Structure 1
């Protein structure tokens, strides 16, 4: 075979290689994060090792370090990933409801399901006391966005006459967020029950009709 034939063969192999889809850096990072969530949930923060995470993700340990410099940094990225996932899911839950009853019901159901699906990891996250300034600022920023979602819900309900006109929007927002958060934690963590048996209509009734 002459040089031209050899060159064509190499070019052909290269073109075939280029046709094979490869995961982008962002996709690979997400795969590692998802694998790490499973490992942290199984072994806890102290018991989780980078080699376990690498094995779960189907990659080498060195590859994990190419994306995350330490276990602490990886854990914080998981927190960011989870908080953002919660924000997106909550927004979608609010958008699905027409009335304020439906919106609050959807948010209650979503929050309980999210806590249930990430139960072990939520427990671990609640035990970690030392977080970087970066992750704290990120959490506060996302929390501010979530608060605005609820504020818009309350404002919209007032405009439609579903809530009384003199209602304090900020106070109502705090009451709804705090009540749903504690209600879901109690039903999922403290007094656990099957996810399908959580009495979401009851908490919606308390929120919208009060205690009297």
Structure 2
């Protein structure tokens, strides 16, 4: 557990674990409080409802993912190495949170419009960060000059997520995460030829 001033973060981390184990509808705020080592009332000091906690947990996770993405994009390495590292990090995140995604049985009508808009904006922010990486690679001649980032970036994540999700669903994962290298090698052909 973190320092006293980080109870909100403790609750968010605990909620990630409990929602993953039980799904949204079967999770009780008492379960999250117990996992966080606090009382149920403390949860409600930070979050007005279970759905509010769920939404904030999703935003918390997105921020963690985004910070890791920014760190990779800003790393002093080649475009190819950055692309592979992004793919590996994405696969590790999927492995770590696959159960949560599978069990999140929240209906679209339960999620607030604010959350939907925020998720779209966060995705756009992440794509913009990756777009900067592509711009730099184009400038350096590391990839084709005629790439359309609006197509390439979603195609990269779509192929990567589809490949990894299939492996997890089929129970083919032997390591702690699915190695995304085959997807990256396949997609590289479109980037360089």
The TM-score bracket by the shorter chain reads 0.7 to 0.9
Structure 1 or 2, whichever has the larger Rg, is 1
Tell me, which stretches of 5 or more residues in structure 1 are unaligned?
A: 1-21
Higher relative contact order (CA 8 A, sep 6+): 2
Query: Does 2:137 match 1:179?
Result: no
User: Over aligned residues, Cα RMSD in angstroms?
Assistant: 2.3
In the alignment, is the contact (CA less than 8 A) between 2:138 and 2:145 conserved in 1?
A: yes
- Rate the CA distance shift 1:197–1:113 in 2: closer, same or farther, 3 A: closer
**Equivalent residues in 2 for 1:83-94, closer than 5 Å:** 83-94=62-73
Aligned residues: 189
Give the structure-2-normalised TM-score: 0.86
Return the offset for 1:66.
1.4
Other structure's SS at 1:44 match? helix
How far apart, CA to CA, are the structure 1 residues paired with 2:170 and 2:151?
26
Residues 29, 50 of structure 2: 8 Å contact kept? yes
Q: 1:126 to 1:147 in 2, by over 3 A?
A: farther
Name the counterpart of 1:23.
Answer: 4
Q: Which residue of 1 aligns with 2:61?
A: 82
| Deviations 1:113-146 (CA, angstroms, capped at 9, x unpaired) | 0011112212233754231012112111110111
